[in-house]
Amino acid sequence: MIGQQVADSIERRSGVSLWRQIADRILQAIAIGDFAENAALPPEVALAERYGVNRHTVRSAISALVQEGVLRAEQGRGTFVLSRKRLSYPIGARTRFSAGLQGQTSERHIVLLSSSIEPASQRVAEGLGLARGADVMRLETRGEADGRSVSRAASWFDARRFAGIDEAMAQTGSITASLARFGIDDYLRQSTVLSARHADAADLADLDLQPGAIVLVTVAVNVTPNGQPIQFSESRFPAERVELKLSAL
């Protein structure tokens, strides 16, 4: 047994079904590296014993992961790991989507899903240093790497200062490039608050997740080098595909 892999049992009558808990464990074991890519999982009977459940329950977990494209089951041979480990997404003073994932993926970009102008809510106004109710431009975006959805975010900008930033985003596919059109050559991450929760219906659809998945949530403010807030954002990352690596810049 590698590391301090705890032989933790499973919780009953928890509101989370046993098959989902086991699927979570398997996903995590893969992400941690307990199972190499293309390696065979232990046979169903062994897993059932290890988790203290019926073989059929293990089968439910596995079939969910097969559906999800993480595993491949072959009758008579075994069940094999397909999926890669989690992407490691760096967060620090200079967080950039594409720069951060360099080397880990061959292709990545941001897709603009929608944009709208709305009055600033309390927290958006605070984050951007505007009056509550002031016009803000809201961009809904999805980050993709190698065809997998790795993030889903809402960003808010001062609608007056950054009028037309939605078009810039659609054209460039990059926040950094879009801000450059408004004379912002550099920006820093001022603050990041991190939490986690179950994915809601919107997350499931946008990030192509299975129900019951967990998302990491960051709420952040980007500022110019001299401290003026320019972007307030809430991003959601699928915990099964992404981990956040904090660099203290």
| Minimum CB distance to a copy of itself smaller for 116 or for 171 | 116
> Pairing mode, if any, of strands 148-158 and 229-238?
antiparallel
| Minimum CB distance to DNA smaller for 38 or for 106 | 38
Write down the least CB distance from residue 169 to DNA, Å. 39
Binding segment toward DNA, per CB under 7 A, in 30-38, 56-64, 95-103, 179-187: 56-64
| Minimum CB distance to a copy of itself smaller for 131 or for 201 | 201
Q: How far is residue 229's CA from residue 184's CA, in Å, rounded to a whole number?
A: 12
Residue 77 interacts with, from a copy of itself, DNA, none (CB under 5-8 Å by kind): DNA
If one asks whether residue 202 binds DNA (CB under 7 A), the answer comes out as no
- Pick from 9, 56, 164, 205 the residue near DNA by CB under 7 A: 56
Range list of H helices, 82-160: 97-100, 122-128
Q: How far is residue 61's CA from residue 142's CA, in Å, rounded to a whole number?
A: 28
| Minimum CB distance to DNA smaller for 59 or for 142 | 59
| Minimum CB distance to a copy of itself smaller for 27 or for 173 | 27
| Rounded (5°) CA angle 13-15-16 | 100
| Rounded (5°) CA angle 166-169-170 | 90
Q: What are phi and psi of 50, to 5 degrees?
A: -60, -40
Cβ pair 44, 55 in contact under 8 A: yes
If one asks whether residue 89 binds DNA (CB under 7 A), the answer comes out as no
How far is CA 71 from each of CA 18, 21, 78, 89, rounded to the nearest angstrom?
A: 18, 16, 10, 24
If one asks whether residue 73 binds DNA (CB under 7 A), the answer comes out as yes
Residue 196 interacts with, from a copy of itself, DNA, none (CB under 5-8 Å by kind): a copy of itself
| Minimum CB distance to DNA smaller for 77 or for 201 | 77
CA 68 to chain centre: 16
In one-letter notation, the amino acid at residue 58 is V
Cβ-based burial of 71 (10 A; exposed 0-12, middle 13-18, buried ≥19): buried
Residue 183 interacts with, from a copy of itself, DNA, none (CB under 5-8 Å by kind): none
- Positions in the binding site for a copy of itself (CB under 8 A): 2-4, 6, 8-17, 19-21, 23-25, 28, 31, 64, 86, 88, 91-93, 121-124, 138, 154, 188-189, 191-198, 200-202, 204, 210-212, 214-216, 239, 243-249
Residues in touch with DNA (CB under 7 A): 13-15, 17-20, 41, 43-45, 52-54, 56-57, 59-60, 62, 73-79
